[in-house]
Structure 1
Amino acid sequence: MPLQKVNDIDMYYEIHGEGEPIILIAGIWSDLSGWKTTIPALSKKYKVLALDTRGAGRTDKPDIPYTIEMMADDTVGLMDALGISRAHILGASMGSRIAQAIAIKYPARVTSLVLHVAAARQSLSILKGLLVLSTRFRMRDPHFFDKISAYPPTSASALRQFDAHMAFDSREWLGKIRAPTIIINGTKDAIVGPGKYTDELVSGIPGAKLVMVEGTHFFASEDPFLLINPAVAFMAEVDGRQTG
């Protein structure tokens, strides 16, 4: 089982394929098995590094507060340990926030950003506030996560991730992102939503490209090529510009 000591944790990861590296960062509470339909397609052209974030999957779950920036540091620490100087970064949902934090804090490490079902912050409303409170209550049930992940988080580590996810807000720093960026969001996404939260991410990142796909927050689970096709085309364009 591939584990690597990074900072204060042992991180679980897998590498598939050869070529330019791409790092896959999953959403909240998810382990890398959520990429099982994405990895085979990407690994035909890329060296795919998929990882479990702190608090999820087979990575350690320390009982301390987590932040998105901390998870960005973990990811770059894993890159260092594996000898990866620079990579495309594909982050989904909470993973997209980690990807943003990497691009802001470690710009030289990012070839391009693929931000999937992404926003700069958690959208807020009275209804969503009630859903947040309901979710925090249900997280006390250890079986709540069984259908979310093959290797579920503990209730404590899930709450640590949840609080980190809710606290993150990159709006002030988006203008510092210099990596070529594509945002691939869903038209029926009730979590991120088209409109305000997608728009502020697109307008905040210089030169960001937006692709809206017909579907919910989970459209890539239903048809991974709705994510893979625009992501691969964009990364190939970036690679072509850098070698041309």
Structure 2
Amino acid sequence: MEKNFKLFYTEEGRGTPLVLLHGNGEDSSYFSAQMEYLKNDYRVIAVDTRGHGRSPRGTAPFTLRQFAEDLKELLDQMELRRILLLGFSDGANIAMLFALSHPEYVEKLILDGGNTRPSGVKLRYQIPIVLGWCAALAAARFDQKAVKKKELLGLMVKEPHIRPEDFAGFSVPTLVMAGTKDMIRDSHTRKLQRSIPGSRLCVMDGTHFIAAERPEEFNRHVHEFLEEGS
């Protein structure tokens, strides 16, 4: 545990805790439309992951697994043991890693635009990411700004590595979401959904950023899933 390290988060509403995890290079403000809508029924907690937004970089490794452990530490600090968890893009990947390692914390899971390995990203998106990472890698020796860019892009170049068999026996109710024009391969999204026992798939018209592009429809799907069985 890092001394004095604490993630920044914003929260609104009351009720069952609903934790939101943003994507690579973003911050919790990505979910402004979701917070405004869902705060009427839930205690919505939008987190800035390590080195993003107002959360410090700290000294621990800059990896998705570390981010998942950061989340556990935050929940323990807040004395939260059962949450609803929604992650977008890298946030979905963090959510997967967290739920696989600590399923007892998660009541329901929503994965929006997640991928289980780097090759799940379409080549026309992944190639520029890899080239940008290589350039940042070279520049990081003399440019401090390039160090941060190298770390951020490195997350997408080198991670995640989640196997379909990792979900064997996984029992957390899960909704897998994506856009029709997502940067994640459709075949990859569908394979992910099939790998998670009892999960369902929701594909909306739009790009990788369906939560921002079509918030009303996105929020409705999320709300319906969260309310099922309650």
**TM class, shorter-length:** 0.7 to 0.9
Partner of 2:141: none
Residue type of the alignment partner of 1:91: G
Match of 1:192 among 180, 184, 196: 184
Q: Which has the higher mean CA deviation after the structures are superposed, 115-124 or 82-91?
A: 115-124
Check conservation: 1:104, 1:176, Cα contact below 8 A.
Answer: no
Gaps of 5+ in 2: 138-144
**Residues 24, 138 of structure 1: alpha-carbon distance in 2 compared, 3 angstrom cutoff:** farther
Higher relative contact order (CA 8 A, sep 6+): 1
| SS of residue in 2 equivalent to 1:83 | coil
**Residues 108, 222 of structure 1: alpha-carbon distance in 2 compared, 3 angstrom cutoff:** same
Instruction: Deviation per CA, 1:53-84: give whole Å up to 9, x if none.
Output: 00101101135532211111111111111111
- What is the percent sequence identity of the aligned residues? 27
User: CA shift at 1:119, angstroms?
Assistant: 2.0
Q: Which has the higher mean CA deviation after the structures are superposed, 99-108 or 8-17?
A: 8-17
Partner of 1:48: 44
Partner of 2:129: 132
Partner of 2:57: 61
CA distance in 1 between partners of 2:181 and 2:126 (Å) = 20
User: CA shift at 1:49, angstroms?
Assistant: 0.8
Partner of 2:174: 181
Q: How does 1:1-244 map to 2 (within 5 A)?
A: 7=2, 9-62=5-58, 65-122=61-118, 123=120, 127-136=124-133, 155-165=146-156, 166-171=158-163, 172-189=165-182, 191-194=183-186, 196-238=187-229, 240=230
CA distance in 2 between partners of 1:83 and 1:221 (Å) = 30
CA distance in 1 between partners of 2:20 and 2:14 (Å) = 15
Check conservation: 2:121, 2:185, Cα contact below 8 A.
Answer: no
Give the TM-score of the pair, scaled to structure 1.
Answer: 0.82
CA distance in 1 between partners of 2:28 and 2:86 (Å) = 12
Gaps of 5+ in 1: 1-5, 141-153
Q: Which has the higher mean CA deviation after the structures are superposed, 127-136 or 33-42?
A: 127-136
**Residues 138, 206 of structure 1: alpha-carbon distance in 2 compared, 3 angstrom cutoff:** same
CA distance in 2 between partners of 1:167 and 1:31 (Å) = 19
Residue type of the alignment partner of 2:159: A
**Residues 7, 176 of structure 1: alpha-carbon distance in 2 compared, 3 angstrom cutoff:** farther
Residue type of the alignment partner of 1:206: P
CA RMSD of aligned residues (A): 2.3
CA distance in 2 between partners of 1:174 and 1:104 (Å) = 7
Q: Which has the higher mean CA deviation after the structures are superposed, 54-63 or 24-33?
A: 54-63
| SS of residue in 1 equivalent to 2:68 | helix
CA distance in 1 between partners of 2:124 and 2:47 (Å) = 33
Check conservation: 2:84, 2:109, Cα contact below 8 A.
Answer: yes
**Residues 85, 64 of structure 1: alpha-carbon distance in 2 compared, 3 angstrom cutoff:** closer
Give the TM-score of the pair, scaled to structure 2.
Answer: 0.87
User: CA shift at 1:93, angstroms?
Assistant: 0.3
Number of aligned residues? 221
Residue type of the alignment partner of 1:219: I
